[in-house]
């Protein structure tokens, strides 16, 4: 995997088809600084447009997530369609889901972090909903950024271990 983009989204709930919305996304490309886009001063539609633009800047990049195949990517797709946005460019990008592509069984981000010796998350999605509902965008964005940094650390640790095992 040459180019990658790590993403993590925060939402108002788990059901995008029933009105739950995306509140923020953190992105981290190839080890560069993380970027967070949020609903601080944007509509969900604008957030989704900017999300798709940011993810697809490098269409050859692999999208790295924890539980992204079952949550983040479908959520972005559904909410994009609800908002009249075509998300097909993301569908054509390769994906690697740390939660399911390693063992084919779901592994939580905290369990992956423990397994690879990376610090655990500071909170959970319920806290992110609370931050959004209280218009505490600084806390929401910091939480989302921490998640994407942890996800990248897990990915890079796993990748290094895999590369070292092939060299032996």
Which domains are seen in the chain, by residue range?
4-167 (3.30.420.10)
User: What is the spatial distance between Cα 71 and Cα 56, in angstroms, rounded to a whole number?
Assistant: 18
Task: Output the tens digit of pLDDT for each of the chain's 168 residues.
Answer: 679 999 999 999 999 999 999 999 999 999 899 999 999 999 999 999 999 999 999 999 999 999 999 999 999 999 999 999 999 999 899 999 999 888 777 888 888 888 888 888 778 889 999 999 999 999 999 999 999 999 999 999 988 887 776 665
Q: How many CA atoms lie within 13 A of 160 on its CB side?
A: 8
**Residues in CB range of 36: below 8 A, 6 or more apart:** 24, 25, 26, 27, 141, 144, 145
User: What is the spatial distance between Cα 97 and Cα 37, in angstroms, rounded to a whole number?
Assistant: 21
Q: What is the pTM of this model?
A: 0.92
> Quick count: other Cβ atoms within 10 Å of Cβ 11?
22
């Amino acid at each position: 995997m040459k180019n990658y983009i790590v993403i993590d989204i925060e939402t108002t709930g788990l059901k995008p088809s029933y009105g739950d919305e995306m509140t923020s996304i953190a992105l981290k490309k190839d080890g560069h600084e993380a970027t967070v886009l949020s609903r601080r001063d944007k509509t969900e539609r604008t957030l989704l447009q900017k999300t798709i633009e940011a993810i697809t800047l490098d269409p050859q990049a692999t999208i790295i997530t924890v539980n992204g195949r079952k949550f983040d990517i479908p959520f972005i797709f559904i909410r994009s369609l609800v908002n009249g946005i075509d998300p097909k460019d993301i569908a054509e990008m390769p994906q690697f889901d740390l939660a399911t592509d390693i063992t084919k069984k779901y592994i939580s981000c905290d369990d992956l972090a423990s397994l690879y010796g990376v610090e655990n998350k500071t909170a959970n999605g319920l806290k992110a909903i609370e931050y959004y509902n209280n218009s505490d965008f600084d806390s929401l964005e910091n939480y989302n950024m921490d998640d994407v940094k942890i996800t990248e650390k897990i990915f890079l640790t796993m990748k290094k271990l895999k590369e070292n095992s092939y060299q032996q």
